[in-house]
Amino acid sequence: MRLVGPDGTQIGIVSLEEALDKADEYGLDLVEVAPQANPPVCRIMDFGKFRYELSKKERDQRKKQHVIHVKEIRLRPKTEEHDLLHKIRHAREFLEDGNRLKVTIMFRGREMAYKEFGYRLMERVQEELADIAKLEKGPVEEGRNLVAFFMKK
C-alpha cells in the first residue's frame, strides 16, 4: 500500500505491518483514504480529530443555508376590507423575508354554494401582491378550501 505521512508527505509503498508500525511510532491511526487505487492509499492521521473537524464543517454549512418556509394566511369569503388589507400586509412581509406564501380561503356551510366570492377574493389578493409575488400554483379547491401558492418574483 502507498503510505502518506501525518504532514502529507509521501512515505512510499510499504507493507501493512510496516504501515501499522509507522502509525504506532507517531501515536496516530492508519486510515485507508483511497481503497480503489492501485496500490491502495493509506494515511497516518488522528482519526478522532478528523471526524471532529468534519462535523464542524457540516455544522457551519447548515448555519449558512437558508431554509424556505411556507407561511399561510387564511381568509373567509366575507372577510371585510380592513381585515383583508391587514392580512395582505402580513403576506407582503412573509414574501419579502423569502418565504413562500399559501393563501387559503375557507368556506363554511352554505358558503360552498357561492364559491365565486372566494374566487373573486383570491383574484383581489393576487392583484394586491402582483408587484412583489407571482402565482406559483392555484387557485385549487381542496375540500372546503380554496388554496393558492405565491412566491417572490
Nearest alpha carbon to residue 101 among 64, 62, 75: 75
Q: Is residue 145 part of a domain?
A: yes
Question: What SS3 state is found at 45?
Answer: strand
CATH number at residue 36: 3.10.20.80
Taking the whole predicted model, whether its pTM rises above 0.85 is answered as: no
Residue numbers of the domain that contains 133: 70-152
C-alpha cell of residue 152: 417572490
Q: Is residue 65 part of a domain?
A: no
* In a shared domain, residues 77 and 113: yes
Which residues does residue 148 pair with via DSSP β-bridges, in sequence order?
A: 103
Number of structural domains in the chain: 2
C-alpha cell of residue 8: 502529507
Domain end point (choices 60, 79, 100): 60
* In a shared domain, residues 26 and 97: no
C-alpha cell of residue 46: 488522528
**Tens digit of pLDDT at every position of the chain (153 positions):** 899 999 888 989 999 999 999 999 889 999 998 989 888 999 999 999 989 999 999 999 888 887 788 999 999 999 999 999 999 999 999 999 889 999 999 999 999 999 999 999 999 999 999 999 999 998 999 999 999 999 998
C-alpha cell of residue 31: 486510515
* In a shared domain, residues 36 and 79: no
Element spanning 130, H or E: none
